[in-house]
Amino acid sequence: MLKKIGNVLFHNLGLKIVALVASIILWFVIININDPEITRNFSSAVVIENQEALEAQGKTFEVVGGNTAYFTVRAKRSVMKNLSESDFRATADMVNLQDSNKVPINVTALRYNGQLEITKITKYLDIATEDLQSGQYIISAEWTGEPAKGYVVQNLTVTPNVLKVSGPESIVSTIDRVVATVSVNNITSDISDSVIPQLYDKDGRVMDTTRLNLNLSSVVVRAEISSVKEVGISVEAGGTPAEGYEVTKIMYSPETIKVMGDTATLNALSTVTIPPEVLDVTDATEDVSVVIDITAYLPEGVSLVDAKQKDIDLVAVIDPLPEEEQEQTGEE
């Protein structure tokens, strides 16, 4: 029995081996025909990792030539049809920076990892490095528009009022000022608004802050709005001129001033009175002139609209008495 079985197994053994190999090859051919391997191009935005490694060296960088990685993927057609660019992640680790200007790109599959063959077309992320610079800048406040008629901006405040900036030296070194601007158009009362500070260079142009790190994204600007009123000035001379002389006229310039304050206080104010002792003509035989600071005589809570117009010129005109009046004075 065993002999018969052996004869059957080994009869035409070469042909049987050839047939087996052919069957295996045919099986692989059929499999590959039904689900062949194909190649497809993909791209992915490069994610930069460990930027702090460069910052620790006092450096910053800018990507040059684009930050898109291109690569090819080889996989079974059944797998490939389910792949999209979101299934891949391209990274550039700053720890691996080479020659100060290029970082190797690593592309990984987020799924089907063991069934893919990835070939990188873009192998490096090209960058330009530069020294890192930091600075602190006082934030000044400005306004746009005009308050309602009869009102003015009395005061502006910014909170917080210091901006910390860091970034490429070539950019930070051109910062001239930082401004937070609030609109007061047709406003009749105090306002507070959240404002994004703007950086200006030495030529007065608004700067692009894309590559800068700012410690503040916004600040609060408060605008104090006050009523405005034009009021007159009242002046009298103090003392008595020399014998035979009199005060014939008192002149002052300007004759009116614009002041601001709360509405109730301004409604009660029509004239700013200068005390007589300010314009002292005692024993005077010629004109007496003085320049005063009008702000010293304004009521509490009232100020000038234009602080530069605080100086007021006062003049007491001194003339001799008419002869008949002098004679009458002498007779007495």
User: What are the tens digits of pLDDT across the range 125-164?
Assistant: 999 999 999 999 999 999 999 999 999 998 999 999 999 9
CA triple 270-273-274, angle to 5 deg: 155
The DSSP output letter for 280 is: B
pLDDT tens, residue by residue, 305-331: 998 889 999 999 999 998 766 555 555
Q: What does the DSSP 8-state code read for residue 58? A: T
Q: pLDDT by residue (tens digit) across 155-167?
A: 999 999 999 999 9
- What pairs with residue 102 in β-bridges? 98, 126
Say if residue 42's pLDDT is above 60. yes
Q: Contact at 8 Å (CB) between 94 and 152?
A: no
Chain segment 59-103, per-residue pLDDT in tens: 999 999 899 999 999 999 999 999 999 999 999 999 999 998 999
Name the least confident of 20-34, 239-253, 258-272. Answer: 20-34
- State the pairing for strand pair 271-274/219-235: parallel
Q: What kind and span of H or E run contains 53?
A: helix 51-55
Q: Tell me how many helices (H) and strands (E) the chain has.
A: 7, 20
pLDDT at 174 exceeding the cut of 70: yes
State the pLDDT at residue 296. Answer: 95
Size of the chain in residues? 332
